[in-house]
Structure 1
Amino acid sequence: MLRVETFLVAEQINVKKFRAEFTGTPHSASAFEAFYAQENNRFLYVLNYGVVGFVGYSDVEKSDFIKFLKNYTEKPVDGDYKEDLLVDYNPNARLTFSYNSVSVPEWNENVVKIIILNIAQSVAMDFYEKMGSEVLDSTRKFTDELEKYGKIRISKTNLMKYIGRTLNVKNNIFDNLYVFNSPDSVWENEFLSKLDHGLRDTFDINMRFRELDYELKIVQDNLALFTDQLQHRESNRLEWIIILLILFEVIDLLISKVI
């Protein structure tokens, strides 16, 4: 049994800078990832959406590497986001999945990469789901005010700050989720395709993505409503200003005629 572990350490990792300064030649790499296959069945996978995956590393080695990796991160995350999976390699076994393990008849760099990638997406999804839930909960506070008072009791400046902050969170989620696609090797190899689909089902990647996307659409609709409310409030204010100006002109005209 081999244990594959992934850790979310930040919202972003500068993979390009990491590759330039890390001593080691990646087995495969791009602007978004760096995958290293080392001796003694040890593997390392760094992904730009803040996740690092390990196979064959001791606890001390993992801890030391994560400390080193933080030199290349942006927006470190709070909380303990990690996930693991046991892998049983047996050439005579069939490809089978359970909630915390997988049995594989093949073991090579591509197999390891697919396994780590799916676990990495799952642990990143944990973080994005938490962000999405927090944003959705915060919008409910304002929709509750609309239901109770017929208006949002917040100043224009604070409402604009909230909308800006919420949009930044929403955009950050989408900026990272777009890379949650299967690699090209999956479409070129039947076994890798079965492995990838089985792991995505095990970790409910597609279903969780759809649920998060649905939540973010609700948030987007709420933000549109809040913006309309803000514009309506500003329109009413301008209307009252115009009415008062006209009233002052009428009063001034009447006074001038009386005098």
Structure 2
Amino acid sequence: MKEADLIKIEAIQIAEAFNIKKLRAEFGIEAYSSSPSEIFYTLGNKKRYLYIFDYGVVVFANYTEAKKKELINFLQNYTTTAVHLDLFEEYRIEIDKTISKVVIKNDYVLVPYVDPSVLRIVMLNIGQSVALDYYEILTNELISSSKEYILELELHGKLSISKINLLKYIGKVLNVKNSIVDNLYILDDPNLVWDNEELNLLNRHLKTNFDINPRFKDLDYRLGIVEDNLRLFTDVLNVRESSRLEWIVIILIFLEIMIALLFH
């Protein structure tokens, strides 16, 4: 296949978030389209394409390694909490003018033509897939740590974690949960598919191919399990604190009685 008939796409999770407003103002090139949560660029006379999302993902199309590294270094100036998990996904678009409709494969999509709208749909779905990879890792870490505490309860009937560390753990869980909720819009269909049946079909096929909706539902289910565990841990901690307060009261009463006896 000719190089002109092939577009290589790569999505990378660089950070937890981008400052989209500042990045757009300082990038120096007019965006093809943008919103408060994303920016899409066509560069090099539509030879290269760039899609940046506020949830920390950047998607490259037809970028050389040198150009890609250069841009990643530039984007680091606009990140919030860099991610160093080597999270990326590759895909490609193959153009075949002899076909009449889109054909979706595991690692590429075959299209009769390509334009910025087609690029945006493909790059959007790949970006969503990488973002879900990141949230899956965070959720798995929370599940694993909560299992350790549950095992401790099973073996020893108590939790050794301190109140401060438990509160930190609760904060971490809520932070992940809020981050996912804030980015719920990644599941929404982009406006450009509403009046275009071909783009709508492409978008739906890609969502199915990358298991976008099932993966998000699984994330929500697993976070629900973690939240149930948090309620259990909080109840155990409250019982422990109540017991400690009861002993303090008993000791104070005992001391008061002893002092009264000594003075009488």
**Fold shared per TM-score above 0.5:** yes
Q: 1:34 matched to which residue of 2?
A: 39
Question: What SS is found at the alignment partner of 2:194?
Answer: helix
Alignment deviations for residues 47-102 of structure 1 (CA, whole Å, 9 cap, x no partner): 11111112122221111111111111111111211112121122331211111011
The counterpart of 1:214, out of the listed 221, 224, 227, is 221
Q: 2:253 matched to which residue of 1?
A: 246
Question: What SS is found at the alignment partner of 1:125?
Answer: helix
Trace 1:84-99 onto structure 2 (pairs within 5 A).
84-93=90-99, 94-99=101-106
Shift of 1:165: 2.8
Shift of 1:187: 2.3
Contact 2:15-2:80 within 8 A present in 1 as well:
yes
Q: 1:83 matched to which residue of 2?
A: 89
CA distance in 1, matches of 2:202, 2:236: 49
Shift of 1:140: 0.6
CA distance in 2, matches of 1:123, 1:231: 39
| Paired residue type of 1:92 | T
Aligned residue pair count: 257
Alignment deviations for residues 169-228 of structure 1 (CA, whole Å, 9 cap, x no partner): 332333334433221222222111111111011111111111111111111111111111
The counterpart of 2:205, out of the listed 168, 182, 198, is 198
| Paired residue type of 1:24 | I
Q: 2:165 matched to which residue of 1?
A: 158
Alignment deviations for residues 219-247 of structure 1 (CA, whole Å, 9 cap, x no partner): 11111111111111111111222222333
Q: 1:233 matched to which residue of 2?
A: 240
Shift of 1:161: 2.3
CA distance in 1, matches of 2:82, 2:260: 65
Question: What SS is found at the alignment partner of 1:103?
Answer: strand
CA distance in 1, matches of 2:130, 2:223: 19
CA distance in 2, matches of 1:188, 1:220: 40
CA distance in 1, matches of 2:13, 2:87: 5
Alignment deviations for residues 101-126 of structure 1 (CA, whole Å, 9 cap, x no partner): 11112322111101000000111111
**Runs of 5+ consecutive residues of structure 1 not aligned to the other structure:** none
CA distance in 1, matches of 2:151, 2:61: 48
Identity among equivalent pairs (%): 45
RMSD: 1.7
Matched, 1:3 2:8: yes
Question: What SS is found at the alignment partner of 2:86?
Answer: coil
Contact 2:128-2:186 within 8 A present in 1 as well:
no
Q: 1:22 matched to which residue of 2?
A: 27
Q: 1:50 matched to which residue of 2?
A: 56
CA distance in 2, matches of 1:200, 1:40: 25
TM-score normalised by structure 1 residue count: 0.93
Question: What SS is found at the alignment partner of 1:117?
Answer: helix
The counterpart of 1:13, out of the listed 18, 38, 42, is 18
CA distance in 1, matches of 2:129, 2:181: 15
Most deviating of 54-63 and 165-174 = 165-174
Q: 2:194 matched to which residue of 1?
A: 187
Matched, 1:139 2:119: no
Question: What SS is found at the alignment partner of 1:44?
Answer: strand
Shift of 1:44: 1.0
**Runs of 5+ consecutive residues of structure 2 not aligned to the other structure:** 1-5
| Paired residue type of 1:218 | I
The counterpart of 2:128, out of the listed 121, 129, 132, is 121
Shift of 1:252: 4.2
Shift of 1:30: 0.9
Contact 2:187-2:213 within 8 A present in 1 as well:
no
Contact 2:42-2:50 within 8 A present in 1 as well:
yes
